[in-house]
Amino acid sequence: MIKRPNINAQRLKRHKRVRSKISGTPERPRLDVFRSEKNIYAQLIDDVSMTTICAASSVEKGFEGSGSNKEGAKKVGLLIAERAKAKGIETVVFDRGGYVYHGRVQELAEGAREGGLNF
């Protein structure tokens, strides 16, 4: 039997490596992405004051669609962009959370770009 390494442990290792290089500021916060099997979450984080500026996810009340597909991820991206614009934020640093930039993570990023965020 071939022993396979824990996938989440590998993702956390990648995430830690990326996080050592990027950081969010009040002017340019970090757009952090977390995805589970059924949902996807995004939040804008100011790493200087260690606060979450705004957040959006597919588990919110009134969210139309599913967080487990690309369409739902794009809607979450549009939602986080709308909330960021309301707070006066135009540019962000994208943190893919150790995930591959493909599929739902890519769609969330494209939705945020369509909503008006620059990164």
CATH number, domain 7-114: 3.30.420.100
Mean pLDDT for 50-64 is 94
Q: What is the number of other CB atoms lying within 10 angstroms of the CB of residue 42?
A: 29
Res. 4 pLDDT band, cuts 50 70 90: confident
Angle at CA of residue 114, ends 117 and 51, nearest 5°: 35
pLDDT tens digits, one per residue of 26-38:
999 999 999 999 9
Given a cut of 80, whether residue 2 has pLDDT beyond it is no
For residue 96, give the nearest of 64, 67, 73 by alpha carbon.
73
Domains of the chain by residue range: 7-114
Q: Which two tokens stand for residue 95?
A: 């943190």
Rounded CA gap, 40 and 37, in Å?
Answer: 8
